[in-house]
Copies of this chain bind each other. A is one copy, B any other.
């Protein structure tokens, strides 16, 4: 099957193109910048085509992934060129207008599904990601598309374009607008955020962190989200009106009415108890990492940088609320705790097995006859620092007394110390090393 991704040279379009290529499709990408397009195509093994209409008419599936403000024009250009039986999709965050244009211009016998993948190009797989599909007509592509996505563990929601845009007016427009307003107020008031955190409860820190997350987005994307949704203006107006009413209640000392409004708002939240539970857990998770580290000072830890994915292993020298100091060989490294995750014991061992040089030792020892190799393998394999323990030979012969057997155990360890330790344990079981 041939898929063309219009605007597939960067951002989400590039992500989609690479994903589909990895899934085994034949992929064409288009994009205005010829150099960048050729380079992107080469990187992922796709074809580059400078002409949107040509790409569209050569494909079974055409996916338009261009900025929201040019999407209508690109759809007008591409839709009439979709072949009979083939499928046109877009992936912008509003759905009413694209759906209308596609419905108007798609040729008879061709199909379209407006879509909104609710994730950005930073994700590494479809697992757990939400994809909203808003078909407006009977469509033989819908079921296969849904199955394809669900097999890859995406959560697929099928709804209509208007419902989608209404929901987005809440999920994206209202919350983002309010959060950007808080951040802008903090800036106007000249608030020193770092100073304010000292006074603050964990929930305040979590609030600031989520506000930071929204305000750190690409501001042009934020602007698009606020301006392309037909319901956005109404939602912002309602927010300002509501906040204004609450302010007036507070300013005029209308306690009972304020309390009534707040209680109504609380009652409207679907499940306060679960929300408290989840936010407690989120807060606890932030403290958890720090207490894990505090318990590990002086010991060996593995720290994984949450963005680069790079793992650093060493002796944890000290911990402050913000930083961890690691000694790795002769170097001393300083890590911001917010940017790292502490590896579990198993993860650390697995990382070492994949990344460090390990040494193999053979140990031969004389055990009583009834010894069971699989038990020896299990007991030794559980010891710290032992990657693997395997019995490679059993021997009975003139040098071995009656009622005994010699086993050769092959172990893989990172440090000679662990080898010495294994020998001590074997002797501790009562066996004699040869």
Contacts and interface: CB of A to CB of B under 8 A. Distances in A.
Interface of A: 118-119, 128, 130, 132, 157, 164, 167-168, 170-171, 174-175, 177-189, 191-201, 203-216, 219-220, 222-223, 226-227, 232-233, 235-240, 242-247, 250-251, 253, 255, 258-259, 261-289, 306-307, 322, 336, 338-339, 341, 367-372, 374-376, 379, 382, 424-425, 427-432
A212 B246 contact: no
A186 B220 contact: no
Nearest to A284: B285
A238 B188 contact: yes
A189 B216 CA distance: 27
B130 A199 contact: yes
A222 B195 CA distance: 23
Given A213-B276, A250-B223, A382-B382, A243 B189 contact: no
Contact of A372 (B201, B268, B427): B427
Nearest to A239: B185
A259 B223 contact: yes
Contact of A374 (B232, B282, B428, B432): B428
B184 A427 contact: no
Given A175-B204, A206-B282, A227-B250, A269 B369 contact: no
Contact of A274 (B232, B266, B338): B338
A263 B109 CA distance: 47
Given A178-B178, A209-B275, A368-B431, A262 B185 contact: no
B375 A183 contact: no
Q: Which 5 residue pairs spanning A and B have beta carbons closest together?
A: A375-B428, A285-B285, A212-B275, A368-B430, A371-B430
Given A119-B201, A259-B223, A268 B427 contact: no
A253 B223 CA distance: 9
Contacts of A170: 186, 189, 191, 196
Given A279-B210, A430-B431, A265 B199 contact: no
Contact of A266 (B183, B282, B375): B183
24 contacts: A130-B201, A168-B199, A171-B196, A184-B246, A184-B264, A186-B269, A189-B238, A193-B269, A194-B270, A197-B270, A203-B214, A206-B206, A206-B282, A209-B276, A216-B272, A216-B275, A222-B262, A223-B250, A223-B255, A232-B250, A239-B243, A277-B339, A278-B286, A368-B432
A94 B306 CA distance: 39
Contacts of A368: 367-368, 430-432
A425 B274 contact: no
Contacts of A216: 266, 269, 272, 275-276
B338 A199 contact: no
A425 B379 contact: yes
Contacts of A182: 174-175, 178, 239
A285 B281 CA distance: 7
B282 A253 contact: no
A193 B267 CA distance: 11
Contacts of A258: 219, 223, 226
A226 B262 CA distance: 13
B207 A210 contact: yes
A213 B206 CA distance: 12
A370 B432 contact: yes
A199 B116 CA distance: 10
A429 B375 contact: yes
A73 to B, nearest CB: 18
A191 B268 contact: yes
Contacts of A376: 428-429
B187 A171 contact: no
